Structure 1
Amino acid sequence: MKKIQPLLILLMLCFVGACNEDSLDSLSGKYDMDRYVFDKVEQATTEKIGGGIKVFPMTLSDGTNTMTLTLGSSEWIMPAGVYTPAAAVSNKNQFSAVINGDIVVASGNLEITLLESTYYISGLLSDASGNRFKVDYKGVLSFEVGEDDPEASGYTISIVENQVVDENETVYPELTKYAITVSDPNGVAVFHVDAVNNAGMTLADLVGTYTTAGYPTEAWLADNGWVVYFPEWGVEMGGGTYFTDANNKKQYVTQGSIVITAAEDMNGNPLYSFSGENLVTLTAQNEPGTDGAFSIMFASEVNNGGTVLKDQTITSEVLGMDMKYSVYLPESWDGIKTFPVLYLLHGADGGNNDWITGGKIDVQVAAAVAAGTAPEMIVIMPNCTVDGKNLFYVNGYQGDAQYMTYFFDEFLPTVEALYKVKGDRENRAIGGLSMGGYGSLYYGGIHPEMFSYVYACSPAVMIDGTPNLFDIYGAAVTEGATLPGITLEIGTGDFLYETAGWFKGFMDSMSIDHEYITRDGAHDWAFWMACTPKIVAKLGTLFSEN
């Protein structure tokens, strides 16, 4: 009764004239609204706006009033459902509307019902000032059913050109081996083919069918897949043409044909698809494959979005020779603006171009910058294999070469001044693979004041004749040094997997903060290529904070 009594008093006051429409308005707001019952429609041509979204423009009228209406859908007809307002329709179940040419709908939903061939559109809408409008339409709408344009799937393509050489090491200069790798949206390589064709061709020229063969030396052939497996060590090695199956396991193609086709998206950008059927395959364990078919649709070729300078040189007094290095400079590099820097170290028997040709680090950085997940950065890649000797980034390995001294006293100061590196710890990181994985951990351990992060891929952490990483990091902890962030990433089929696990256990025992990533993979570029987007993502967060 306590809740009812005030209402009874209010009603009695209104009954005797103490309450009028104005007083009700002042209590509860104005309830009057315009209502439009439309019975005519004029439809415009359906438009495709990308991402599989279509928009349906139309004008509803009652002979006096009009409502210009645009609706969004992922189908070629307008499905029933609830549609929410948007300033510009960009997705399904959105609408934009203008009544009588100047009343812009800002809020409220449209409910659309379809019974047989009749559409019912109704909604309680408001403009930006809070004025409300009730709209209704009943009638027939017609739609043109068209065909969707291909849409980029998020898979990306990279190409490296190599010489064509037969089993007798005869070179065929009129031909080129196009090493085509397709990666999924996470940067994991899911397909590779070494396609042989005429020199000087673009990806668009390479569209066609390639038959796998051993040591191919004719156009329209491709390297067949091969596998070497050492079960006693659990080590796997493979190359040539392969794809990954539904379980993300590599299937190396030993017989069959690979088909490359091309299409265009709605903006005319080229997209490429790769497929194969009735293929004979081997697994990474050198066993008969279980999947003889694959299909990858609408992948995009990527570019580096910057400048790659290969085989630059610096004259080293410490080493007594000219030393090579390579650099990736971001698109806005102008010789004045400064940038954060990532140093990437190659593996044994490798060189300063490896992270470009094998890891596509330039492409990954440019893609991350374009996506807004990383700031522009410089990537510098030194060389550490001299006259066939792997110097392991230390002093006195395989002779008396003082490589570590060269790196810190000559190389790093020179390139940082030349390429306008920011030069502080927070904007400097280092990474590497195998021998370079050791080098990155070594440099991060002996100079933690210089590097904010270390990303070591498949690191060789226990090598006779090199400084002991366990001792270095143990001493750093004892001395209270601020160590860089650390990530170790290694494949479960890598011959270094066990020793990497020992170092991870040591870091656990010393309470050294780190990230340890293991996944299927061997000691090869298929594994390391999938590391590069993670390196960039990690540094995207790190450098963006500075």
Structure 2
Amino acid sequence: MKSLLLITCLAAGYTATAQNRTPGDTLRSPLSSGPGKALIRLYAPKASEVKLVGDFTRTPIALTSDGQGIWKTEIGPLRPDYYTYTLIVDGVRTLDPKNASIKQGIASVENVVLIPGSETAFEDVQNVPHGELRQVWYSSSTLGRMRRMHVYTPPGYEKGRDSYPVFYLLHGAGDDDSGWSTIGRAGFIFDNLIAAGKIKPMVVVMPNGSMPTEPGTPLNMSRMRDLFSSELLKDILPRVEAGYRVKTSPADRAIAGLSMGGFQTLDVVLSRPELFTYAGVFSSGFFGPSIDEAETKYSKSLNDKDFNSKKKLFWIGIGKDDFVMEANRKTLALLDKHQIRYQYKETEGGHTWINWRQYLNEFTPMLFR
């Protein structure tokens, strides 16, 4: 009797499942639809409007319906790279449920789509030795709570005894410590550069530069800058130097960041110039009122005749269409005024990971030489 009941229930369940099948069950998205192109599709039979937004378009792209509940649009042609996007269904932002590749931030999640091509080789998974990426929790005395950072160790670290130079790599506003290792592709970029002999093996620390804020409180960049600086110096550096085989001289330390992380990098480098011999600022500068206080806040470093001799590399890169270009230019003018030397690169594009991954690939080989 029990066996008969089980068979009856399974049969009923199978029938119900079959009856509830929809065109969305076998739908695939995204799909390659030609060189530089991808087809994005969504099953939403009750939707009246579906749009797509992403870092490859300045305006939302409307999807069209086939009348059977399937909405679609083709993106491209785009330069081969990794891009992010989300869908807006009747005004509500949502993920593409058929695409499991995602990038998470502190308050949002986006899908990732790859437009394949030889141009992405530097950031792709290649058949080379791979390092390890760890999620490391530590106690922050600055914030009075547990915090997380991602740490990359190069191939061979576990089996060796050597000490390595250390590179602190900072993300931008809206992201967390996972940003550089997900959409930033940092671990794969380091693996490929090491395998090609273009960089020295190094430990890379990717901390969470986003400081906790009260709900509804406007983002205060100066406050986040000061909190992060305190946490980096009091909590993160000591934790890394106690827990990893890293060298501790300034010549073996580098720091770089994008957008908010670039702002934080400028703050640390000009507040504590003795700590880092290498620095990189991607798509950033002193934002808003911070440019007015910079000359006073960092007067000691700006007027230090020995500042340039303490830096082997001070690299600044930005896209021509970046919306922070004005802040960047004001920052360069301040550095020029005080005869602070730097290398500057202006590229195509805007405030996107497309540029930041390229900057990382170009910047890292100049470290620890």
TM-score when scaled to structure 2?
Answer: 0.65
Pick one of 461, 464, 469 that aligns with 2:294.
469
Q: Which has the higher strand share?
A: 1
Query: Could you say if the C-alpha distance between residues 467 and 412 of structure 1 is closer, same or farther in structure 2, counting changes exceeding 3 Å?
Result: farther
In the TM superposition, 1:331-410 aligns within 5 A as 331-334=155-158, 336-387=161-212, 392=221, 396-397=223-224, 402-410=227-235
Partner of 2:304: 479
Query: Could you say if the C-alpha distance between residues 178 and 353 of structure 1 is closer, same or farther in structure 2, counting changes exceeding 3 Å?
Result: farther
1:272-319 residue CA offsets vs partner (Å, 9 max, x unmatched): xxxxxxxxxxxxxxxxxxxxxx99469764247100113x21112221
Mapped pair 1:324 → 2:148:
yes
Mapped pair 1:426 → 2:254:
no
Query: Could you say if the C-alpha distance between residues 534 and 499 of structure 1 is closer, same or farther in structure 2, counting changes exceeding 3 Å?
Result: same
2 CA distance for matches of 1:299 and 1:466? 36
Partner of 2:346: 518
Q: 1:472 deviation in Å?
A: 4.5
Q: 1:343 deviation in Å?
A: 0.4
Pick one of 134, 137, 154 that aligns with 1:309.
134
Q: 1:509 deviation in Å?
A: 2.5
Which gives a bigger RCO, structure 1 or 2 (Cα 8 Å, sep 6+)? 2
Partner of 1:505: 333
Query: Could you say if the C-alpha distance between residues 322 and 519 of structure 1 is closer, same or farther in structure 2, counting changes exceeding 3 Å?
Result: same
Aligned-partner SS, 1:212 = strand
Query: Could you say if the C-alpha distance between residues 173 and 536 of structure 1 is closer, same or farther in structure 2, counting changes exceeding 3 Å?
Result: farther
1:74-97 residue CA offsets vs partner (Å, 9 max, x unmatched): xxxxxxxxxxxxxxxxxxxxxxxx
Look up the equivalent residue of 1:525 and give its one-letter code.
W
Look up the equivalent residue of 1:412 and give its one-letter code.
L
Aligned-partner SS, 1:228 = coil
Pick one of 406, 430, 442 that aligns with 2:267.
442
Instruction: Give % identity.
Output: 25
Partner of 1:19: none
Aligned-partner SS, 2:58 = strand
Aligned-partner SS, 1:535 = helix
Could you tell me which runs of 5 or more consecutive residues in structure 1 were left unpaired when the two chains were aligned: 1-171, 181-189, 194-210, 218-222, 231-239, 253-293
Q: 1:329 deviation in Å?
A: 0.5
1:5-42 residue CA offsets vs partner (Å, 9 max, x unmatched): xxxxxxxxxxxxxxxxxxxxxxxxxxxxxxxxxxxxxx
Partner of 2:284: 459
2 CA distance for matches of 1:419 and 1:531? 26
2 CA distance for matches of 1:429 and 1:173? 49
Partner of 1:228: 58
Look up the equivalent residue of 1:426 and give its one-letter code.
A
Query: Could you say if the C-alpha distance between residues 215 and 478 of structure 1 is closer, same or farther in structure 2, counting changes exceeding 3 Å?
Result: farther
Q: 1:245 deviation in Å?
A: 6.4
Aligned-partner SS, 2:351 = coil
Q: CA RMSD in A?
A: 3.9
Q: 1:241 deviation in Å?
A: 4.2
Paired residues of 1:453 and 1:486 also in contact (CA < 8 A)? yes
Paired residues of 1:457 and 1:489 also in contact (CA < 8 A)? yes
1:388-445 residue CA offsets vs partner (Å, 9 max, x unmatched): 57675x6x449xx843222101211111221111011111000001000100111111
Look up the equivalent residue of 2:57 and give its one-letter code.
V
Q: Which has the larger radius of gyration?
A: 1
Mapped pair 1:412 → 2:237:
yes
Q: 1:451 deviation in Å?
A: 0.3
Mapped pair 1:212 → 2:40:
yes
Partner of 1:527: 355
Range moving further from structure 2, 418-427 or 402-411: 402-411
Partner of 1:34: none
Paired residues of 2:152 and 2:204 also in contact (CA < 8 A)? yes
1 CA distance for matches of 2:293 and 2:25? 46
2 CA distance for matches of 1:296 and 1:477? 44
Number of equivalent positions = 281
Paired residues of 2:285 and 2:331 also in contact (CA < 8 A)? no
TM-score when scaled to structure 1?
Answer: 0.45
Query: Could you say if the C-alpha distance between residues 478 and 526 of structure 1 is closer, same or farther in structure 2, counting changes exceeding 3 Å?
Result: same
Look up the equivalent residue of 1:447 and give its one-letter code.
R
Q: Which has the higher helix share?
A: 2
Could you tell me which runs of 5 or more consecutive residues in structure 2 were left unpaired when the two chains were aligned: 1-23, 46-51, 61-73, 86-114
2 CA distance for matches of 1:523 and 1:536? 20
2 CA distance for matches of 1:307 and 1:178? 29
Paired residues of 1:462 and 1:468 also in contact (CA < 8 A)? no
Paired residues of 1:488 and 1:516 also in contact (CA < 8 A)? yes
Paired residues of 1:373 and 1:537 also in contact (CA < 8 A)? yes
1:47-92 residue CA offsets vs partner (Å, 9 max, x unmatched): xxxxxxxxxxxxxxxxxxxxxxxxxxxxxxxxxxxxxxxxxxxxxx
1 CA distance for matches of 2:181 and 2:59? 28
2 CA distance for matches of 1:512 and 1:435? 21
Paired residues of 2:183 and 2:353 also in contact (CA < 8 A)? yes
Mapped pair 1:489 → 2:351:
no
Look up the equivalent residue of 2:156 and give its one-letter code.
S
1 CA distance for matches of 2:305 and 2:355? 35
Partner of 1:287: none
Query: Could you say if the C-alpha distance between residues 531 and 241 of structure 1 is closer, same or farther in structure 2, counting changes exceeding 3 Å?
Result: farther
Query: Could you say if the C-alpha distance between residues 424 and 367 of structure 1 is closer, same or farther in structure 2, counting changes exceeding 3 Å?
Result: same
Q: 1:336 deviation in Å?
A: 3.3
1 CA distance for matches of 2:255 and 2:44? 39
Look up the equivalent residue of 1:500 and give its one-letter code.
N
Paired residues of 1:192 and 1:241 also in contact (CA < 8 A)? yes
Aligned-partner SS, 1:487 = strand
